[in-house]
């Protein structure tokens, strides 16, 4: 049961008592690994302690496996008898009025998952990332070391030094279901974060420092290295010139800083921090021998492509802004762009843009970035791309800007294919290099450290063999924020209780562990009856909506099937011998003699869901389909 929030509950006639009982039914669950909800104690600067509720990760896995055969089977298949890697993520979230100047009800959310889980599962909101705790920022601020101390505490909960406690690496978790058991073990895999969060977690100086990158030893900002120098400017496109920071080099610096603190003169100590690109926060992970050896920064830093590219001052936000200004200078007003944008068909699972998005969000000054959420930027990039193909390129204008934008589109397209991106790495690297060089030449005022960090995003995808980004865990904030909007005290506790309720309900539903699911079912069209009713088969079920490993696809959405551009028509579930097979009925678009695509379609064909790509935005101009 998905529990409605207070206002909807009232509308649905659910009494407060019933809702409370449902919401708190997991509160007292206890397992061989302790209580499901564990209370942690943090001490503030005045020595006062305050309590934070957390979801005990060992108890969570043990509990869901014991109560659900589907969860047990899934965990056993995906995680048992492997050297798993745990991924962590934290972010500050502001519920209610985001412009409120004080911390208000701002909170820090901490989630974790396994890199070994399939990417479609990790992308599913509410099941693939597990909450650990929510802490109100006003409490974090009172703890010496702030988020640096909180993140160290998180690591200590999963990998404690105390040999008598459970530890993911040493003891693992034994999951059991009706007499069968499996062991799940894992080491610290990575911390997924943007540069702002990394600054706190790793104790590094961040983008405004002389040394802005914790993954590189010789990359500097603000100073201009001379030719032949060991130092390299953060804007440098040539990755071969970067000297890699290693676990050993970072550990050496941390140990040295710690030893010299209070020993050398304060001015000298400040210079040393600047030289190392680190801030000395005694409570941080890298200044503690145990957590440092568990975490192994910087090897386990996972640079997030969402933040570097499409969110909060990311490379693409600058590029879209500059591109729109270039169009404007050429007599194409932002109103023209919006009018075109309104004709583009945006699939239901993409973020829609407002009717005046480009007029409202473009900053009409060079060197500024477009304002928008990451999901809006993905749509904006797709629409500007279609505009280029349909209008700008045929007119032969702005060839260099168009080429640079083509690189950006290709990079974003590849990153959006989840783990398929691994097959596109050589092409992606080539695009990245040509994009960087052109971007730097065309938009010198927009070259920020994120252009550098983005290179590390690709390194991380390759190194961890996993296309992780903040999109999935950030989507979780939506529900946590809604809860926060209706809670007035103990916000952290209220959010965790509700998130645990949702998580446990979903982890007990067998449908959570299959990638495909049909939307509302409809009467099977007659011509399809013959197609899907084999002799031994139960009747198939059809729907205009189907969830797949590539996301949700709706009827009339444009998708790739191999090298054919197709219109999705129906998703179909075919039960055969107790197993469900999912198929899609698609209508391929006709190809014009010029190689372009006509909006007319050929007769439908049936293909496996896996053969189908994710959805595309598209627009028909002069009898041709642009996408
Ligand atoms: Zn770097």
pLDDT-derived band at 536 (thresholds 50, 70, 90) equals very low
* d(CA 202, ligand 1 centre) in Å: 14
Cα(243) to centroid(ligand 1), Å: 9
Lowest mean pLDDT among 357-366, 556-565, 569-578: 569-578
Ligand 1 centre from 234 Cα, in Å? 8
How many Å lie between the centroid of ligand 1 and the Cα of residue 444?
19
pLDDT digits (tens, 9 = 90+) for 69-105: 999 999 999 999 999 999 999 988 877 655 555 556 7
**pLDDT for 535:** 45
Whether pLDDT at 528 is above 80: no
Mean pLDDT for 242-248 is: 96
Asked if pLDDT for residue 398 goes beyond 70, the answer is: yes
pTM of the model: 0.93
CA of 195 to the centre of ligand 1 (A): 11
Beta bridge partners of 131: 111
pLDDT of 222 above 60:
yes
Weakest-pLDDT range from 156-160, 209-213, 373-377: 209-213
Q: At what angle do helices 57-67 and 69-79 cross, to 10 degrees?
A: 120
CA of 359 to the centre of ligand 1 (A): 35
Strands 180-193 and 301-303: parallel
Those residues with Cβ within 8 angstroms of residue 374's Cβ, 6 or more apart along the chain or in another chain: 306, 307, 310, 311, 314, 470, 471, 474
> How confident is the model at residue 50, as a pLDDT?
87
CA of 274 to the centre of ligand 1 (A): 16
- CA 197 to ligand 1 centroid distance, Å: 16
Helix 399-415 crosses helix 315-329 at what angle (to 10 degrees)? 150
Dist. CA 460 → ligand 1 center (Å):
12
> Parallel, antiparallel, or unpaired for β 579-591 and 597-601?
antiparallel
Residues of the chain with CATH 2.30.30.490: 515-626
pLDDT digits (tens, 9 = 90+) for 412-457: 999 999 889 999 999 999 999 999 999 999 999 999 999 999 999 9
Residue 215 Cα to ligand 1 middle (Å): 5
CA of 276 to the centre of ligand 1 (A): 14
CATH architecture of 515-626: Roll (2.30)
193 Cα to the center of ligand 1, angstroms? 15
CA atoms of 560 and 517, how far apart (whole Å): 20
Quote the ligand 1 centre to 220 CA distance (angstroms): 9
The pLDDT value recorded for residue 404 is: 98
CA–centroid distance, 213 to ligand 1, in Å, is 5
Span from the CA of 448 to the centroid of ligand 1 (angstroms): 13
Q: In the predicted model, is pLDDT for residue 45 greater than 80?
A: yes
Q: What is the Å distance from ligand 1's center to 378 Cα?
A: 25
Buried b (16+ CB within 10 A) or exposed e, 224-262: eeeeeeebbbbbbbebebbeebeeeebbebbeebeeeee
* pLDDT, mean over the chain: 91
Q: How far is the CA of 453 from the centre of ligand 1 (A)?
A: 6
């Amino acid at each position: 049961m998905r529990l409605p929030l207070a206002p909807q509950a009232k509308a649905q006639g659910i009494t407060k008592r019933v809702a409370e009982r449902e919401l708190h039914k997991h509160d007292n669950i206890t397992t061989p690994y302790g209580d499901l909800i564990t209370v942690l104690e943090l001490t503030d600067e005045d020595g006062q302690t305050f309590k934070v509720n957390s979801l005990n990760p060992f108890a969570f896995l043990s509990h869901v496996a014991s109560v659900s055969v589907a969860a047990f089977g899934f965990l056993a298949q995906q995680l048992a008898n492997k050297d798993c890697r745990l991924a962590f993520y934290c972010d500050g979230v502001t519920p209610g009025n985001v412009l409120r100047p004080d911390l208000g009800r701002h909170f820090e959310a901490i989630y974790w998952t396994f890199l070994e889980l399939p990417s479609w599962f990790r992308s599913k909101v509410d099941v693939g990332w597990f909450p650990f705790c929510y802490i109100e920022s006003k409490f974090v601020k009172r703890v010496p070391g702030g988020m640096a101390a909180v993140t160290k505490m998180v690591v200590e909960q999963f990998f404690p030094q105390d040999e008598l406690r459970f530890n993911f690496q040493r003891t693992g978790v034994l999951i059991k279901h009706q007499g069968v058991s499996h062991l799940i073990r894992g080491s610290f895999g990575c911390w997924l974060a943007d540069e702002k969060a990394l600054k706190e977690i790793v104790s590094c100086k961040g983008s405004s420092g002389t040394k802005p990158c914790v993954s590189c030893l010789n990359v500097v900002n603000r100073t201009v290295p001379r030719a032949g120098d060991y130092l390299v400017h953060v804007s440098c496109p040539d990755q071969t010139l970067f000297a890699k920071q290693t676990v050993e080099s970072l550990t050496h610096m941390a140990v040295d800083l710690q030893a010299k603190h209070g020993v050398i003169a304060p001015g000298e100590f400040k210079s040393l921090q600047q030289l190392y690109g680190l801030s000395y926060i005694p409570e941080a992970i890298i200044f503690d021998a145990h957590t440092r050896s568990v975490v192994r920064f910087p090897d386990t830093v996972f640079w997030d492509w969402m933040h570097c590219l499409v969110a909060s001052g990311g490379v693409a936000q600058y590029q879209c802004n500059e591109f729109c200004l270039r169009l404007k200078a050429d007599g194409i007003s932002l109103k023209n762009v919006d009018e075109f944008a309104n004709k583009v068909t945006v699939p239901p699972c993409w973020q829609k843009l407002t009717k005046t998005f480009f007029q409202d969000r473009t900053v009409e000054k060079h060197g500024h970035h477009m304002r928008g959420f990451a999901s809006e930027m993905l749509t904006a990039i797709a629409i500007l791309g279609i505009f280029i193909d349909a209008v700008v390129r045929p007119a032969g204008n702005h060839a260099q800007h168009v080429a640079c934008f083509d690189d950006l589109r290709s990079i974003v397209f590849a990153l959006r294919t989840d783990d398929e991106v691994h097959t596109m790495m050589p092409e992606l690297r080539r695009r990245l290099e040509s994009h960087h060089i052109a971007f730097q030449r065309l938009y010198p005022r927009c070259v920020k450290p994120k252009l550098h960090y983005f290179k590390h995003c690709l390194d991380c995808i390759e190194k961890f063999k996993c296309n992780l980004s903040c999109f999935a865990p950030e989507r979780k904030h939506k529900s946590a924020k809604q809860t926060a909007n209706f809670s007035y005290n103990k916000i952290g506790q209220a959010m965790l209780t509700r998130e645990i309720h949702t998580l446990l309900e979903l982890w007990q539903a067998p449908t959570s562990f299959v990638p495909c699911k049909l939307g509302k079912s409809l009467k099977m069209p007659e011509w399809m009856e013959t197609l899907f009713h084999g002799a031994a088969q139960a009747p198939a079920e059809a729907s205009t909506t189907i969830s797949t490993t590539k996301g949700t696809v709706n009827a009339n959405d444009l998708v790739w099937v191999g090298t054919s551009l197709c219109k999705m028509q129906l998703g179909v579930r075919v039960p055969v011998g107790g197993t469900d097979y999912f198929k899609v009925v698609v209508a391929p678009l006709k190809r014009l003699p010029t190689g372009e695509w006509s909006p007319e379609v050929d007769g439908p064909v049936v293909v496996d869901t896996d053969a189908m790509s994710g959805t595309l935005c598209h627009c028909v101009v002069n009898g041709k389909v642009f996408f």
